[in-house]
A = this chain, B = another copy of it.
Amino acid sequence: MSLSYELLGSDGAARRGRITTAHGTIETPAFMPVGTAGTVKAMLPQSVAETGAEIVLGNTFHLMLRPGAERVAALGGLHKFMNWPGPILTDSGGFQVMSLKELRKLDPDGVTFRSPKDGSQHRLTPESSIEIQRLLDADITMSFDECTSWPAEEPEAAFSMRLSMKWAERGRRAFVKRPGYGLFGIVQGSVFPELRAESAKALIDIGFDGYAVGGLAVGEGQELMFGTLDYTVPMLPANRPRYLMGVGRPGDIVGAVKRGIDMFDCVMPTRSGRTAQGFTRRGEINLRNARHRDDPRPIDEHCACPACTHHSRAYLHHLIRADEILGAMLLTWHNLQYYQDVMRGLRGAIESKTLDTWIASFERDQALGDIPPIQ
């Protein structure tokens, strides 16, 4: 038995589900904080769990270079290494390797690249990526693919997608089935409906434990992304989880959930937490802005995170101006809390079949803009 997916309810195309893995369950729709190098940056793992996150993402590319997959395996796997006892999804390394540009060389069999850290040479193939993810002990392993760059002409997107489908098949053969562990395939094809259909069919023929939509959130904009989901998601099997890779802003996630996506990951809440950007019910705010300098109010009086329950905007502003680590810690925590609050809201709305009402309220709040300054 690989990992399992249970459909608990739905509202239109949106789904309320539960994924059961070797290291626990994930209520979906779910947002996965990104723990690039074995840490969700600036957060204790216990604090990540406190926000409501049930699964985190680890990066094969970063972990294979440092500390090395064999070392992580010898130390008991990534769960033990980073003290995250819950489920972990690892990406395949493909996305990061492709972004190396002149440091990498693609061939039909895989990718050879130089480490940006020390120049050492490495190679990833469909098989070695799967093996590294096994060494890391990922509950959810991702197929090694070539993430088609944006923008791409149709022939280029087709060539890239077909290479990824060959690699997906090789990865499926290399993947060792274990109870509670699963392998996800990744639909490519850029913004071309025929290519997305061909890719989805190829993956379904191979057979995966879950299906990801890749190659989006790469610069195409929300309208094209939603458009692509509109015709791609219905091609995916209803009895398997669906994962939109690298997405996104809260509004992107809400629109994708409405279109039937179950899982998300994005560096935005954590990265923004280190660059003074806060996500709130009333949109995004920049805590570095002088308007917060004397403001005794929290970011959001309804938020349960430590930044909002214990600290003023003025204090956060001060920490950020003073380059204090605590500023990054508190704002990261707030952003992850907000993302998980959105996911909780979405799950509840699907359960009660009130998703459209919930989304209307979400969009109204977002459009309000930040609370006005105190006069």
Bound complex: CA A328 to CA B39 (Å):
12
Q: Are A322 and B66 in contact (CB under 8 A)?
A: yes
A329 within 8 A of B: yes
Residues of B contacting A324 with CB < 8 Å? 37, 39, 41
Nearest B residue to A76 by beta-carbon distance?
B296
Nearest B residue to A309 by beta-carbon distance?
B83
Stretch in contact with the other chain, from A23-31, A310-318, A349-357: A310-318
Nearest B residue to A45 by beta-carbon distance?
B310
Indicate the member of A41, A44, A293 with the most B CB atoms within 10 Å: A44
A320 to chain B minimum Cβ distance, whole angstroms, is: 11
Q: Are B67 and A318 in contact (CB under 8 A)?
A: yes
Residues of B contacting A38 with CB < 8 Å? 315, 318-319
Q: Are A75 and B314 in contact (CB under 8 A)?
A: yes
Bound complex: CA A294 to CA B81 (Å):
11
Considering only residues 70-95 of chain A, those with a C-beta below 8 Å from chain B are 71, 74-76, 81-83
Interface residue from B41, B310, B311, B314 paired with A71 (Cβ < 8 Å): B314
Q: Are A325 and B322 in contact (CB under 8 A)?
A: no
A321 within 8 A of B: yes
Q: Are A321 and B75 in contact (CB under 8 A)?
A: no
Tally of this chain's copies:
2
Bound complex: CA A46 to CA B46 (Å):
15
Interface string of A31-61 (1 = CB under 8 A from B): 0000001110111111000000000000000
Q: Are B326 and A41 in contact (CB under 8 A)?
A: yes
Query: Given contacts A294-B71, A329-B325, are A315 and B41 in contact (CB under 8 A)?
Result: no
A306 within 8 A of B: yes
Q: Are B296 and A75 in contact (CB under 8 A)?
A: yes
Query: Given contacts A66-B321, A67-B318, A75-B312, are A42 and B293 in contact (CB under 8 A)?
Result: no
Considering only residues 325-340 of chain A, those with a C-beta below 8 Å from chain B are 325-326, 328-330
Query: Given contacts A75-B294, A75-B314, A296-B76, are A328 and B325 in contact (CB under 8 A)?
Result: yes
Q: Are A329 and B294 in contact (CB under 8 A)?
A: no
Bound complex: CA A75 to CA B311 (Å):
11
Residues of B contacting A66 with CB < 8 Å? 318, 321-322
Q: Are A42 and B329 in contact (CB under 8 A)?
A: yes
Q: Are B310 and A83 in contact (CB under 8 A)?
A: yes
Query: Given contacts A46-B306, A296-B75, A321-B66, are A312 and B81 in contact (CB under 8 A)?
Result: yes
Bound complex: CA A42 to CA B323 (Å):
11
5 A-B pairs besides A71-B314, A83-B315 with CB distance below 8 A are A42-B325, A44-B329, A67-B314, A67-B321, A76-B296
11 A-B residue pairs with CB within 8 Å: A41-B324, A42-B325, A42-B326, A46-B306, A66-B318, A66-B322, A75-B314, A81-B312, A83-B311, A325-B325, A329-B329
